[in-house]
C-alpha cells in the first residue's frame, strides 16, 4: 500500500456558498518611531469646555483676584501702587481666558496658534507691568519709601517666553506632521 502522492482536491460540500471567513484584526502598521497608530481619543468639545471653565476658576483667582486683592489691601495701608487694581484684574482675566482657550483647542490644529497668541499676550502684559512695578508709601509726614520689583516681573517673562517657543514648535509640528501631536496627547 502506498501513500497517495497527493490528496485529491477537496470538494466543497454541496449547498449554498459559505460566507467569507472573518479576517483577523488588522495588525498595527509600522510607522516612524514613536508614532501612534489609530484614531486619537479626543475628549468632546463639551467636556473640554467644562474642564476649561473649571480651570478658569483657579486661574482667575491666581492671575486676577489675588493680585488685585493684594493691591487693594496695600492701598488700605496707604501704599500706592504704580498700577491700578482694575488693570491687574482685567489683565489677569484675559490671561486666564486665553489659558482656558488653550485647553479647549488642544486636540485641534488651533492649539499652536492659540498658544503663541496667549504667550505673546502674557509677555506684552508683563512688559507693560515692568515700568509700573513699584509700591510707595509715605510715613510720619516726613518721609517716604518705595519698592521696585520690576526685575521680578522681567524674570517672570521667562515663563511665557518658554510658552511662546513651545507653542511655535507645536504649530510647526501640526503643519509639518499633521495629527502627530494630537495622537501623542490623546492616544487611542
Binding region for other proteins (CB under 8 A): 32-35, 142-149, 151-152, 155-156, 158-163, 165-167, 169-170, 172-173, 176-177, 180-181, 184
Q: Nearest CA to 148 among 162, 165, 130, 164? A: 130
Q: Nearest CA to 179 among 52, 51, 31, 44? A: 31
Residue 161 Cβ vs other proteins, minimum distance, rounded to whole Å? 8
For other proteins, the closer CB: 90 or 149: 149
For other proteins, the closer CB: 20 or 33: 33
Question: Which residues make Cβ contacts (< 8 Å) with residue 131, sequence separation at least 6?
Answer: 82, 150
The phi and psi torsions of 126 (rounded to 5 degrees) equal -65, -40
* 3 three-state secondary structure: coil
d(CA 29, CA 31): 6
Residue 124 Cβ vs other proteins, minimum distance, rounded to whole Å? 17
Residue 10 Cβ vs other proteins, minimum distance, rounded to whole Å? 44
For other proteins, the closer CB: 20 or 38: 38
For other proteins, the closer CB: 50 or 178: 178
Residue 180 Cβ vs other proteins, minimum distance, rounded to whole Å? 5
For other proteins, the closer CB: 43 or 179: 179
Sign of CA dihedral 42, 43, 46, 50: negative
Residue 131 Cβ vs other proteins, minimum distance, rounded to whole Å? 13
How far apart, in Å, do the first and last CA atoms of the chain sit?
Answer: 60
Amino acid at each position: 500500500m502506498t501513500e497517495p502522492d497527493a490528496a485529491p482536491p477537496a470538494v466543497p460540500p454541496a449547498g449554498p456558498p459559505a460566507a467569507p471567513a472573518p479576517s483577523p484584526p488588522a495588525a498595527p502598521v509600522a510607522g516612524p518611531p514613536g508614532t501612534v497608530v489609530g484614531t486619537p481619543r479626543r475628549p468632546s468639545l463639551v467636556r473640554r469646555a467644562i474642564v476649561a471653565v473649571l480651570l478658569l476658576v483657579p486661574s482667575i483667582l491666581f492671575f486676577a483676584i489675588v493680585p488685585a486683592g493684594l493691591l487693594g489691601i496695600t492701598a488700605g495701608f496707604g501704599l500706592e501702587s504704580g498700577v491700578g487694581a482694575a488693570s491687574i484684574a482685567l489683565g489677569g482675566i484675559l490671561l486666564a481666558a486665553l489659558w482656558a482657550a488653550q485647553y479647549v483647542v488642544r486636540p485641534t490644529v488651533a492649539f499652536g496658534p492659540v498658544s503663541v497668541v496667549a504667550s505673546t499676550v502674557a509677555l506684552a502684559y508683563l512688559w507693560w507691568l515692568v515700568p509700573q512695578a513699584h509700591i510707595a508709601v509715605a510715613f510720619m509726614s516726613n518721609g517716604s519709601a518705595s519698592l521696585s520689583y520690576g526685575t521680578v516681573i522681567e524674570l517672570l517673562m521667562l515663563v511665557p517666553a518658554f510658552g511662546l517657543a513651545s507653542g511655535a514648535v507645536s504649530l510647526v509640528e501640526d503643519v509639518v506632521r499633521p495629527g502627530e501631536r494630537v495622537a501623542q496627547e490623546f492616544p487611542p
